[in-house]
Amino acid sequence: MEPVILDGGDRRCVLLLIELRKLTTTLPPGTEIHLIATDPAAPLDLPAWCHLTGHEYLGPVQGQRPTYGVRVTGSPVDTEESSPWRPARARSGHLPGTARSDV
């Protein structure tokens, strides 16, 4: 299967992560994404985001412009839609897996 290309162009990593999050929710597990990103923070932010979500960071990929590989996993950690660097909150307003202090 050919990788899915996400051309982030000159966008900052914040916007790239929002687009990447949206894309990963539409693809089946095992799909490889090649993200083209010129933001100097991309080599730091992408592995950190993959670590947070459980997607697999594949590292730099050969290309004409800076390109990084990500493999979609089957059960990623959900993140906030507008802030994909934050885990999504449960309906109760608490982070999943955290204890409530008011019980």
Is 39 within the bounds of a domain? yes
Average pLDDT of every residue of the chain: 87
Q: Which residue range forms the structural domain that includes residue 64?
A: 30-75
Pairing outcome for strands 32-36 and 67-71:
antiparallel
Our count of domains for the chain comes to 1
Q: 53 φ, ψ to 5°?
A: -90, -20
In a domain, 63, yes or no: yes
Q: What band does 30 get if pLDDT is binned at 50, 70 and 90?
A: very high
Task: Classify residue 70: in a domain, yes or no.
Answer: yes
Q: CA 60 to CA 57: how far, in whole Å?
A: 9
Q: Give the predicted TM-score (pTM) of the model.
A: 0.80
Query: Does the residue 52 lie in any domain?
Result: yes
